[in-house]
Amino acid sequence: MSKRFRASLPTWIFFGGLSSFPWLIVWESAWKGIDIEILVIAVVISGFAFAWLITFQITITSDEISFRSLFSWKKRIRHDEIKIVRLTWNLWSRKMRGPMRLIIEPRENSKVHQLDINAKVFSQKAIDAVLELGARVAEADDGGLRDGIVLKSLRGWKQRRRR
């Protein structure tokens, strides 16, 4: 049995909406005549955004988990090579990455590299499935982020006020 997860609907709506802004410029300037340069820019931006979204995929099979995206191709790790699955939040990362990450670390003796998954594009169901896999085959740490960063921040704020 295999489970496959792709980018969530809200991600498609948000990034699809952002990538359609150049089309507003094309539409606005269409009454003067279509400018080929603007049309090409709109096609390239929209095409890149949708290609980026289409490639996001997490696949969980009976013996391995794999992640694929436009820039990382397809990476796999077998269940028996997993040391820990962590859900992390780092807004100040020096790398150009999304702040919410699912990190699957391999065991010390393993020859595979860690899987670093951009969690913000996937649904809660996909994140829960990966964390449950980690808890089942090794160790899992959701970092208190399973409900999202806003609820974690509010809980921390309430606890500081009580002291």
Residue 37 resides in a domain: no
Question: How many separate domains does the chain show?
Answer: 1
Residue 53 resides in a domain: no
Residue 51 resides in a domain: no
* Cα–Cα distance for residue pair 25/140, rounded to 1 Å: 47
The confidence score (pLDDT) of residue 149 equals 59
* Cα–Cα distance for residue pair 3/91, rounded to 1 Å: 29
Beta strands in the chain (DSSP E): 3-6, 57-60, 64-69, 73-78, 82-89, 100-106, 115-118, 140-141
Residue 87 resides in a domain: yes
Residue 3 resides in a domain: no
Question: Domain residues for 86?
Answer: 77-162
pLDDT tens string 91-124: 766 565 667 889 999 998 878 888 889 888 899 8
Residue 1 resides in a domain: no
